């Protein structure tokens, strides 16, 4: 059984950089209607818990699950 993964990305706004004043944007990956990864630093420190970008995307798009 070879199952192809159906993945797409959403761009979620992060916090403002205090030195430059620019906003950070992070790509949040959705696979098979499930939010499964984000490229922010919080996911590197706590890889098994959802970050705030993943939670915010879930609030916006309620048909997705974490």
How many domains is the chain partitioned into structurally?
Answer: 1
**43 part of a folded domain:** yes
- Kindly report, residue by residue over 10-63, the tens digit of the pLDDT: 999 999 989 999 999 999 999 988 999 999 998 889 989 999 999 999 999 888
**66 part of a folded domain:** no
Contact predicate 63/33, CB 8 Å: yes
**30 part of a folded domain:** yes
**11 part of a folded domain:** yes
**1 part of a folded domain:** no
Which residues are CB-neighbours of 4 under 8 A, at least 6 positions away? none
Q: How far apart are the first and last CA of the chain?
A: 25
**39 part of a folded domain:** yes
Confidence label for 4 from pLDDT (cuts 50, 70 and 90): low
**34 part of a folded domain:** yes
What residue numbers bound the domain in which 18 lies? Answer: 7-60
**2 part of a folded domain:** no
């Amino acid at each position: 059984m070879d199952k192809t993964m159906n993945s797409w990305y959403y761009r979620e706004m992060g916090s403002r950089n205090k030195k430059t004043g620019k906003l950070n944007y992070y790509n949040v990956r959705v696979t098979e209607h499930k939010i499964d990864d984000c490229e922010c630093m919080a996911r590197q420190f706590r890889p098994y818990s959802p970050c705030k970008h993943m939670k915010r995307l879930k609030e916006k798009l309620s048909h997705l699950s974490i």
